[in-house]
Every structure is written in C-alpha cells, then in structure tokens.
Amino acid sequence: MPDEKKLTKEEIVKTNSNHLRGTIKEELSKNTTHFEETDNKLLKFHGIYQQDDRDKRPELTASGKERAFSFMIRTKLPGGELTSSQYLGLNEICEKYTNKTLRVTTRQTIQFHGIIKGNLKATLKEINQNLINTYGACGDVVRNIMAPPVSDIDSEYSIDLCKLARDLSEHLVPNTRSYYEVWIDEEKIDLGGKDEEPLYGKTYLPRKFKIGITYPWDNSIDLFTQDVGIVVVEGGFNILIGGGLGHHHNKPETYPRLASEFCFVKSENLTKVVESIVLVQRDFGGRENRKHARMKYLVDDNGLDWFKSEVEKRTGFKLDPVKEIKEYKSRDYLGWHKQKNGNWYIGLFVENGRIYDGADKQIKSGLKQITEKFNVGVRLTPQQNVILTNIKEEDKSKIDEIIKKSSISTENTVSALRRNSMACVSLPTCGLALAEAERYLPKVITELEKLGYGEEATTIRMSGCPNSCSRPPVAEVGIIGLSANKYNIYVGGDFDGERLNKVYLEGVGSNGLVTEIEKLFKIYRTKRNSNERFGDFCNRVGVEKLKES
C-alpha cells in the first residue's frame, strides 16, 4: 500500500468522498457559477468537466472579473449506439442547455459543451430520461468501452461486439448510487455500513482506464492505444494490455506506449480476466504520482510475467498464450453498406465530430430531419463520424437528397486527407490545452488541399496537448501542441495503428505547419516505393534523413 502521506490530492479526495458524493448536492443548491476544487475533481466521475472560456479569460482576469465558467457533459455509450429517439432526445437537450452543438468524441460518445451550473441537474435528468447516462464517462474508472459500431448489423461480423461492450461496461460500472442520488433525486439507501464498491474499493482506480473490443481487420478503435484491447480470434479472444498515449513534454519518464500481447481467453472467461486486470491496476497502480499512474507504467515497472501472475491469482486459472494475428486493418464505414436484414446503413463524415448548423453546413438540422422522418438508428465511430442505420431501399435517394441539401460530407465529397484527419476539442474550453486543435486543423487540411495533396490517404491527427485525445502518437502525421501557436510534429506512425510515430520537428509555429508537411509530402512523392504509405515511408527513411532531405 502507498504511504498515505505521499498520496496525490486526487487520492485523498476520492478517499474522503463518501463514494463520489462529496458535497456536490449541497453545492448545486448554491447560487454560484462553479464548484470548488474538491467537488470539481469528483464531478468527473459523474461525466462532467468544469471549464471556462479561455478566449475570454485574459480580459476577465485583467479586469478582476470571474472566469466565464461552463460545463462539459460526456455521455457513456458503449460501442457508440443510439436509437432514433435517443439521438433526437440528445439533440433536444443540445438546443435547450448547451452551445447548440453536439460533439462526437474519439471514444464513440457524445459531449455537450457550454452548460451553465444552474442547468446541470436538468441536463443530467433529461439525459437519463432518454435511457442514457454519463456515469463513469470520465474519472478514475473504466470509461466508455469502444467497439466496431456496425458489428450487429453488418454480415462481415459474426459476433455482436456492441452488445459485448455494453455487457462488459455494465459489469465494470461503479456500484455506488451517488450518481442517482445527486442527479436523479434517488432516495439514499442505508447499506448498513457495507462496502459499496466491491470492484473499485474506496479509492477507485489510480487513473482513467480504457477498453476496446474489435476484429483484427477492423482496427478503427486503435486497439493498441487501450489499457485493455480485446481481439476476436478463433475460439475466443486475444487480450492486449498496457496501451496509452498521454505523456508530458520534456518529461521522458512519461511516454506513449502500445499495448502488449498478453493472453488468449475463451469467451466464457473474458469478463473474469478483464475484471482481474482491472483489479491488478487497482491494487498496484501508482497513487503517489498521477503522471505515473496509468497501467502502462505498472506493466513496464514490473513486467508482463509479474502482471500475468497477479491476474492468475485473481482468476484462479492459468492464462493461455495469444493466438497469432498476421495483420491489422482499419476502416471508417463511410458510404452506403448493406445490412444483414436487407436494409442499408450510411457512414457520414463529420469533421472533428462537431455536429452544428452554420453558414456552410447544416449537419445538425440535416441529421435531425433524417432521424425524425425515417426513424433511423444512429451510431458513432472512433473517427468521430456518424452512421445512420436501418434505412429502407426506397428511402436511400430521399436521404441522399437531404444529405446533399444540408452539405453533409460523404465519401464522395471529402478529400482523402481530410477523411483521415482528427483533432481534439482543445481551445477555447479544454483547461489542459496548450495550443489550438479543432479550430485550426481544418485550415491546415484546406491549405494542403490547395497545394494538391488532398488525395493523399494519410492520417493526420492534431491535439492541443500531449494528453493526445485525438490519438496523434499513432498517426502517420501527429501534431501536438507545445505552447501557444507552437507544435511538435511527429511522423512515421502506421495507417492501421500498429506503430508509434517519432518526433520530427519541435516548436513549429502554427503558420509553419503546412510548409513543413508539404516538404514531407514532396519528398514522399519522389522517393517512395510502389504502394508505400506515407507513414511506412517516413519510418523506413527515418526522421534524421528526412530532416536532411
């Protein structure tokens, strides 16, 4: 057990939180715009982040005024699945309480932005009335479990991984009723002093914990970036452990890491093994330094053999070695596809996941119209796109008309370069952002398109800080914020997500990003091998040689 005197503030807050209750309910009744530090930390477990408008922050600070506080709420949707009524319910909530935009996250769920404190409870209540909750979408617990969003409707998939993600998520959700007591006015139940968290214990996990489930030929979820990656193989599943991309600039003791192959399990043992892996992280993960608390560090500090031994102690049976997988492939689901039942689904491109109505696009109203009129299902992809499901043959052309009229992008109206791009939210709302991302990457892509590189099918991902929510360390081109208007550029990742990239240039100004990427594309076009992808080319040549070119 860690020395209690050395525990981080977060660990002390969790210990004293009365199973995540804190004084959130009391603070909600106060006529203030924000929560103080302790309850602010606990809000994350309830799916809420306290934020402020950083565009306005300098002026407000200079004039001695309070920050422009608001809140982000993140839903929990294993596999990214929504019914028609659920999507329309979220759209209505968006209109009533938020900045009028919905945002699809890189973990297949929806975020709301711009909610004021006085509307928090009403927003959470209405989300739950739509049979969706936000419990465990953030915080030091198992977060939204990812899966291929069409695995139940596409004939290529033999197992419904969306259902598996839901079942596993339900098994690993926190047990305390604090969420429902605070937000849904559930009456507090006297448990007679019994432990309310048989899985998580009093202090939950040391840090966030991410799980993804997929097939080898559909690595859309970026399997190797997960704390636990689950891959369908003959007779069961391969388990990978220890992935994670967050790190800190100029702190080499922190680093991105790809998950390691760990074991093979039969289907009936999957839940027990995953639970046991979570328990090992709970019992041994770092609680004295949050920068060293993710499971990837526990794996590296102690080794896979030690970790396997600890898991076996908890499962009560020996773990088998993984089965060989020859290659992984990625996909993005864009365009029209036939379903098992004879209906159709269509994947639509939503740049950086932002569903909005503007002068150029009416994505939000277009999706609402289609969902209302044709009663389609909605799925969210790991690339922040939207899939509409259960479309009848006779409705395809009508839906195509609405898509065109709303200027929603499809596989035929978006460049290959933009299609493979992703950015995190970053400024102005994220408190961790060091530089722009969502508001700037589209401009970078537009300039590269003008220069003639639009049809380069290369993954470009941009994050405002090294927490890497848009997963840039596994992109062929990763751009990570360093400070205001400055970025590090990384190259050499694998298109299908099996390799980390390497730093190419540091401290590049925002106005120099296009120039530097264009240089690389020029070299690539003249010196690549036949059918060689950009990331493979950069990895083969090496960053030092690229700098000399």
pLDDT by residue (tens digit) across 7-60?
Answer: 999 999 999 999 999 999 999 999 999 999 999 999 999 999 999 999 999 999
pLDDT at residue 385 above 70? yes
Helix, strand or coil for residue 239? strand
In the chain, pLDDT over 70 holds for what percent of residues? Answer: 97
- Say whether pLDDT at 185 is over 90: no
Is residue 4's pLDDT more than 70? no
pLDDT digits (tens, 9 = 90+) for 386-403: 999 999 999 999 999 999
For residue 248, the tally of other CB atoms under 10 A from its CB is 13
What is d(CA 323, CA 318) in angstroms, rounded to the nearest whole number? 15
- Contacting residues for 350 by C-beta, under 8 A, at least 6 apart: 104, 363, 384, 385, 386, 408, 409
pLDDT tens, 313-350?
A: 999 999 999 999 999 999 999 999 999 999 999 999 99
pLDDT of residue 189: 56
Annotated catalytic residues are: 74, 143, 208, 210, 424, 430, 465, 469
pTM of the model: 0.96
* Residue 193 predicted with pLDDT over 50: no
Determine the Cα–Cα distance for residues 540 and 363; give it in Å rounded to an integer.
Answer: 40
Domains, the chain, with CATH or none: 142-173+205-331 (3.30.413.10), 335-414 (3.90.480.10), 417-548 (3.30.413.10)
Q: What is the pLDDT of residues 242-265, one digit of tens each?
A: 999 999 999 999 999 999 999 999
Res. 92: pLDDT tops 60: yes
Region 271-279 average pLDDT: 98
Query: Residue type at 308?
Result: K
**What pLDDT was estimated at residue 196?**
78
Do the Cβ atoms of 168 and 255 come closer than 8 Å?
no
Specify the higher pLDDT residue, 513 or 3: 513
Q: How high does pLDDT run on average in the chain?
A: 96
Residue 263 DSSP label = E
| pLDDT score at 211 | 98
